[in-house]
Amino acid sequence: MRPEDVVNLDTYPILDRSSPARTALVNRLRKELETNQFVSLPDFILPAARDRAVADAVEALPRAHQNNSRRNCYLQRQGDPSLPEDHPRNILLNASTKMLAYDRFSDASPVKVLYHWEPVRQMVADIVGVETLYDNADPCQPVNLLCYEPGDSSAWHFDSVNAFTMTLMLQAAEVGGEFEMVPNTRTDDDQNYEYVRRVVTGQCPQDAVAVAREAGSLCIFRGCNSLHRVSPVEGDTTRIMGVFVYENEPNVVGDPEVNATVYGERDRVAG
Ligand SMILES: O=C(O)CCC(=O)C(=O)O
Ligand SMILES: [Fe+2]
């Protein structure tokens, strides 16, 4: 599939970098991201491309890595015994998802076509406010298909590594599978532990924004200081999410040990 047949260029005129329509669009989205810590781009992918991406994901699903984890909202599997029992570092929550690494699904998948296309990469750079972004060069990380079957969920957490996260809803759950976010739960200078504790123990439901995630919608969010989660999926439909990783420099690859925890053990070259 050509990238022009994947991206909805009528609604997102990103081809001509100097066009006023593109400038207006990107400015609006950048402001929205700044204000809300997330921005949604509905109908970003065309229906035929989305169908194809879902079919590729369903075909690959048996090769997905089952990720069951019990972790705190800082993505650590162990608490800190020197802290009180009800400290957020000691509140461990269950999550379960199915992860398809980049090398586990078709290179022809529209999500890969979209990811590697310069006009998309440049649009994202302009929205997040950096000069240039680069594709991730790891065999597993650049684009993932994150699948949630009935009962699967992702617990409250802060993202650790990237300044922003980009996701594309390919297939929504019938019920549940809501993406919820509490903007600016902490700041770079203040861990705000008491508030974080209240959010992860379910005492602040009114502070969580439910981010509308219709199939086809692209989302860019800053998850490093804003707690977010995916509520348990119910019903028969698998929630399928494309997750994209762009970098601030070329040739970034992941740590194989960390990759093994996310994508499962791979055959390693001996020696
Ligand atoms: O599945 C989602 O909507 C969000 C997943 C998530 O939290 C992440 O990719 O950081
Ligand atoms: Fe996250």
Domain of residue 126, CATH code = 2.60.120.620
pLDDT at residue 24 greater than cutoff 60: yes
Handedness of CA 86, 87, 90, 96 (dihedral sign): positive
Is 267 inside a domain boundary? Answer: no
The reported pLDDT for the residue numbered 271 is 45
| pLDDT of 75 higher than 60 | yes
* Within a domain: 105: yes
Secondary structure tally for the chain: helices H, strands E: 6, 15
- How high does pLDDT run on average in the chain? 95
Testing ligand 1's pocket by substitution, the residue of 37, 99, 165 carrying the most ligand atoms inside 8 A of its CB is 165
> Average pLDDT in the 25-36 region?
97
Whether residue 75 is contained in a domain is answered as: yes
pLDDT at 261: 87
263 lines ligand 1 (CB under 6 A): no
The stretch 65-89 carries a mean pLDDT of 95
Cβ within 8 Å of residue 55, ≥6 positions away: none
Flag whether 230 is in a domain: yes
Residue 266 lies in a domain: no
Give, for ligand 1, the residue of 179, 182, 217, 231 to mutate: max count of ligand atoms closer than 8 Å to Cβ: 179
Q: Does any ligand 1 atom lie closer than 6 A to the CB of residue 98? A: no
**Total domains, the chain:** 1
Is 5 a residue whose pLDDT tops 80? yes
Q: Which two tokens stand for residue 136?
A: 């991730």
CA distance 154 to 95: 5
pLDDT in tens, 167-187: 999 999 999 999 999 999 999
- Single-letter amino acid, residue 210: A
- Is the minimum distance from the CB of 228 to ligand 1 under 6 angstroms? yes
**pLDDT exceeds cutoff 70 at 267:** no
Whether 269 is covered by a domain: the verdict is no
* Spatial separation of the C-alpha atoms in residues 189 and 186, rounded to whole Å: 8
Q: At what angle do helices 20-36 and 118-128 cross, to 10 degrees?
A: 50
Q: Is residue 237 part of a domain?
A: yes
Residues of the domain holding 210: 3-261
DSSP 45: B
Residue 72 in tokens: 């705190």
Any atom of ligand 1 within 6 Å of the Cβ of 223:
yes
Determine the pLDDT at residue 266: 80
CA–centroid distance, residue 184 to ligand 1 (Å): 17
Query: Looking at the domain assignment, is residue 271 inside a domain?
Result: no
Residue 160's pLDDT is 84
| Mean of pLDDT values over 237-256 | 96
Q: Residue 213 pLDDT more than 80?
A: no
Mutate to test the pocket of ligand 1, among 162, 171, 243, 262 (most ligand atoms within 8 A of CB): 243
Whether 98 has a pLDDT exceeding 90, the answer reads yes
